Chains A and B, each alone.
Chain A
């Protein structure tokens, strides 16, 4: 690698490389008019490409935003569970919930960094797109002028300069789009990994309704006393007096007589009484 780097200014060499690219465009066509039209077509393509690039980065940013929201929701839920657990005197459970909340914080910070980076890329690309747009507009105007005065000796050098200038801008924008796409692809991969993690339940486990062990424990604690109360009430009812006993008996008898409706009615009667 060292051998390839001649002792010459970095900034000069980069500009020479850009110039060489522009010259390739200039040498491509025999008729300078064709060069102008060819370059203009390439400019429009590049504009489309950079706009697509901006849209891709925006999509990626929105995806990260959704993931951040979802992680924040889970954190809020865990904190609620911790409070609930503390209220019920279960410090161990509260500690567990807060521990899981803290674990999500790392993910959230990582996503926040990604988000800012994507936001910055989006802004940069948007500005690059605007710069190119203005230059393409200027090129179009100049192209028509040059074409009208094509036979003049001056036209040749003007074409050279306009094409070099715009091709440099396209090279710059093209690199920016490329870099943004590479970065976006990396972030998409990481975002996909988090999505997978959520889908697998590794994160959802903590708070998701079916597998949420903290919630299950809290639910057990809550339903515990309720069940006891209900049992107590039922016991009282049963021991309360013959009138109620008859009423209950009549109800179940009616339900039995109703036949088809009995399955639906009986649990309701049990809950209500």
Chain B
């Protein structure tokens, strides 16, 4: 599967990593819905670190869309909430 970390680009991650990433993502989702800044930061960092360590960069000329997209590393909860809105942070 292809995972994009916003601001960093796309990575190819083995499908076998899905469960591990889902678990980290669930923790992140919980922190976002609870508005828990203290839990949010380590959850995001853990998820991004795992993706970075498991993934290999996608070819520069690939035009394939990503299966998953992760917030940029220095995003805060409010940024993520905005990202999740249809008319939120994404331009165009």
Contacts and interface: CB of A to CB of B under 8 A. Distances in A.
Interface of A: 1-2, 4-5, 7-15, 17-22, 25, 42, 124, 128, 131, 134-135, 137-139, 142, 161-162, 164-168, 170-172, 174-176, 178-179
Interface residues of B, number: 39
Contacts of A161: 63-65
B88 A17 contact: yes
Contacts of B72: 175-176, 179
Contacts of B32: 5, 10
A9 B62 contact: no
Given A21-B92, A172-B4, A10 B29 contact: yes
Nearest to A171: B90
Given A9-B25, A137-B61, 13 more contacts: A7-B33, A10-B25, A11-B3, A11-B47, A13-B84, A14-B71, A14-B84, A21-B92, A134-B60, A135-B60, A171-B90, A174-B92, A175-B90
Interface in B17-41: 21-22, 25-26, 28-29, 32-33, 35
B84 to A, nearest CB: 5
B70 interface: yes
B65 A176 contact: no
Contacts of B69: 11, 14-15, 18, 168
A166 B60 CA distance: 12
A174 B72 CA distance: 13
A42 B3 CA distance: 24
Given A11-B3, A135-B60, A162-B63, A17 B83 contact: yes
A172 B68 contact: no
Contacts of A139: 63
A135 B63 contact: yes
A170 B92 contact: yes
Contacts of A134: 60-61
A6 to B, nearest CB: 9
B14 interface: no
Contact of B70 (A11, A25, A165): A11
A17 B85 CA distance: 7
Nearest to B25: A9
Contacts of B7: 124, 128, 172, 175-176
B67 interface: yes
Contacts of A166: 63
Given A7-B29, A10-B80, A175 B91 contact: yes
B86 interface: yes
Q: Which of B22, B28, B60 has the most CB of A within 10 A?
A: B60
A4 B47 CA distance: 22
A165 B65 CA distance: 4
A228 B25 CA distance: 82
A93 B60 CA distance: 62
Q: Which of A12, A15, A135, A172 has the most CB of B within 10 A?
A: A172
Given A10-B32, A11-B3, A11-B25, A165 B89 contact: no
B42 interface: no
Contact of A174 (B22, B71, B86, B91): B91
Contacts of A4: 81, 84-85
B36 to A, nearest CB: 12
B63 A172 contact: no
A134 B9 CA distance: 12
Contacts of B56: none
